[in-house]
Amino acid sequence: MTSSESSGLRRANDPPVLILTSLAGGAKHGHALLKDIESFAGVRLGAGALYGAITRLEERGLIEPLESDDRRRPYQITSAGTRALASVMTEMHDLAEIGASRLKLSWGVS
pTM for the full predicted model: 0.83
Give residue 70's pLDDT: 84
List per-residue pLDDT tens for the chain, 110 residues long. Answer: 455 555 565 566 899 999 999 999 999 999 999 999 999 999 999 999 999 999 999 999 999 999 988 888 999 999 999 999 999 999 989 988 898 889 888 766 55
Output the pLDDT for position 7.
58
CA distances from 26 to 13, 33, 95, 107 (A): 19, 10, 27, 28
Q: Could you give the domains of the chain?
A: 3-102 (1.10.10.10)
